[in-house]
Amino acid sequence: MPQAPLAGDRRGVVFYAAAIRHIYVHGYLTAHPNRCEAANVVSICDALSSFILALIKDDFTRRLKVAKNS
């Protein structure tokens, strides 16, 4: 898992997700960028997707609270 999100910096997560998307869209349709093992890429994608989904859930929950209080 990238260290920036663990330190509270959430901006880098979107960069990593976009980079992985870029590999598939503009590169060879494989999970082996620079000869990485597919299992490593899967592990990274799982961690990123869990983190991003948690961010979305937290943001949505916060927005619902704001809407209910207005």
Nearest to 2 by CA among 36, 52, 37: 52
pLDDT higher than threshold 80 for residue 68: yes
Q: What is the pLDDT of residue 22?
A: 77
Q: Which amino acid is at 45?
A: C
For residue 45, tell me if it sits in a domain: yes
Within-domain flag for 42: yes
Which residue would you say has higher pLDDT here, 6 or 9?
Answer: 9
Q: Is residue 17 part of a domain?
A: no
Q: Determine the structural domain holding residue 64 and report its residue range.
A: 30-70
Counting the structural domains of the chain, the total is 1
Over residues 20-39, the pLDDT tens digits come to 777 777 666 565 667 778 78
**Which of 66, 56, 46 lies closest to 10, judged by CA?**
56
pLDDT digits (tens, 9 = 90+) for 36-56: 787 887 888 888 888 888 888
